[in-house]
Amino acid sequence: MAAAVWLFFIPLFIAGAIVLVVGVLALLSRFRGGKYARPAMRAIAKIPGVRGLMMRASRAALAKQNPEAASALEKLERAGVAKDPQRAQAAMSRLTAAERKAYLEVAGQEGALPEPANRQQRRAMEKLQRQQQRRGR
C-alpha cells in the first residue's frame, strides 16, 4: 500500500526535473552571453523530438520578429539549399528584394564570429573584418 502512494508522486518528480532543467538553462543563458548555454542546448537537441520542437519555436519567434526573413527561410528550405549550392543560388534569385535583405541580415547574425580567446585571435578577426570592409561587404 505504501509503495502505491509513491506512484502518485512520479509526475511531480518529472515536472520538478523539467523545471530544474529550464531554470539551469535560463541561468546559463544569462551568464557570459550564453557561452555555456549553447553546448547544453546542443546536448538537449540530441533527444528525439526535442530538436523539432526547438526548430518550430525558433521559426515562430523569427516569424514574429522578422516576417520577411521567416518567409525567405521557408522558401529556401523548400528549395533544398542545404544540399546543393547551385540550388541555393537559384533560390536566392527567386526571393524578393526585402526577403533577400532580411535573410542576409539574419544569416550574418547567425554566422557571427565568436569572441576571440587571446590577442592573436583578436588581431586575426580585426584583419578579417578590415578585408571584408574593403571588399564592400
Number of CB atoms found within 10 A of residue 76's CB: 20
User: Could you read off the pLDDT of 37-78 as tens digits, one per residue?
Assistant: 888 888 888 888 888 888 898 889 888 988 888 888 888 888
Same domain, residue pair 65 and 100: yes
Quote the CA–CA distance of 10 and 23 in Å, as a whole number: 20
Residue 130 lies in a domain: no
Same domain, residue pair 75 and 105: yes
Quote the CA–CA distance of 29 and 31 in Å, as a whole number: 6
Contacts of 104 (CB under 8 A, 6+ apart): none
Expressed as residue numbers, the domain containing 82 is: 55-111
Nearest to 124 by CA among 136, 116, 132: 116
Same domain, residue pair 42 and 74: no
Residue 71 lies in a domain: yes
Q: What is the number of structural domains in the chain? A: 2
User: Could you read off the pLDDT of 64-119 as tens digits, one per residue?
Assistant: 988 888 888 888 888 777 777 777 778 888 888 888 888 878 777 665 545 667 78
Residue 132 lies in a domain: no
Same domain, residue pair 62 and 107: yes
- pTM for this model (two decimals): 0.54
